[in-house]
Amino acid sequence: MAPDASGTGTGQVTVRRGIPAGAERRAAELYWDAFGRKLGPALNPPEKAVPFIAAHLNADRAVCALLDGQLIGLAGYQLGGSALTGGSAGAVLRTYGHLRGLHRLLILALFERRPAPGQLVMDGIAVDPGARGRGVGSLLIEEVATLAAEQDCREVRLDVIDTNPRARALYERRGFVAVRTERTPYLRALLGFGAVTTMHRPVGTRGARDL
Ligand SMILES: CC(C)(COP(=O)(O)OP(=O)(O)OC[C@H]1O[C@@H](n2cnc3c(N)ncnc32)[C@H](O)[C@@H]1OP(=O)(O)O)[C@@H](O)C(=O)NCCC(=O)NCCS
């Protein structure tokens, strides 16, 4: 069954691979809206963060949801050593200054996630706040799973923070199983979360609820 992903009701949601040319800024805004709280200590202020993210996106490392041609959601992934969000250490230092940049690089290193062989890491799914709860996120997750199968991956992996139980519930409904939790209570004051749970979904399985 198709999810009720009709957005405002004016059109149909389509899912595509890659960020459309010209939509990089919009993608960065969606990403920041979803992850600004988590990434703020590394990339704030938003006026700097959004252009920085937009300028360093790897457009071919996302699946996107469009409604009437407008980007309303995206899911980034890592494959072949490349992830949706880029930006070298040099770029961070040039943008934020050498002294402040170093501190930011250390924080960004905490978010580094490297896929094991046979894994596709989904690292950042975001849907426009006005379009949430209508199945768009689920469509994106299924597209990432299809992509993982095409790439002969064994499993899709993601990480979810302890302050996002609704996202975790969504992942469980879509067939992800928690495999471990890393507790970092000393980071709660800085980053707003104190634990990260890694979840896996074997390739070839579907979520509990069919789409
Ligand atoms: C998580 C997210 C991508 C889900 O997208 P979506 O299009 O709302 O997903 P679906 O419509 O397919 O599924 C809805 C389910 O998503 C989950 N969800 C998580 N945060 C949600 C939110 N703010 N609003 C609505 N649903 C949310 C819930 O489990 C919801 O089911 P429920 O209504 O029974 O609680 C979206 O809510 C979002 O962008 N959140 C902010 C960014 C984020 O938390 N990303 C995940 C980081 S691990």
Element (H, E) at 18: none
Ligand 1 pocket mutation pick from 111, 127, 181, 206 by most atoms within 8 angstroms of CB: 127
Q: Which residues contact 181 (CB under 8 A, 6 or more apart)?
A: 162, 195, 196, 197, 198
pLDDT tens string 43-57: 899 999 999 999 999
Instruction: Determine the CATH number of domain 13-152.
Output: 3.40.630.30
pTM: 0.90
What's the CA gap between 38 and 200, in Å, rounded? 22
What pLDDT band is residue 191 in, cutting at 50, 70 and 90? confident
Closest CA to 200 of 126, 137, 145: 145
Lowest mean pLDDT across 50-54, 112-116, 159-163, 174-178: 112-116
Residues lining ligand 1, judged by CB closer than 6 Å? 34, 125-127, 132-138, 160, 164, 166-167, 169-170
Strands of the sheet containing 119-127, edge to edge, are: 13-17, 62-67, 70-78, 119-127, 155-161, 195-202, 177-183
Q: What is the pLDDT of residue 207?
A: 59
What's the CA gap between 1 and 186, in Å, rounded? 44
Task: Indicate which residue's Cα is closest to atom 25 of ligand 1.
Answer: 133
What's the CA gap between 36 and 194, in Å, rounded? 17
Alpha carbon of 103 to ligand 1 centroid (Å): 31
Alpha carbon of 74 to ligand 1 centroid (Å): 12
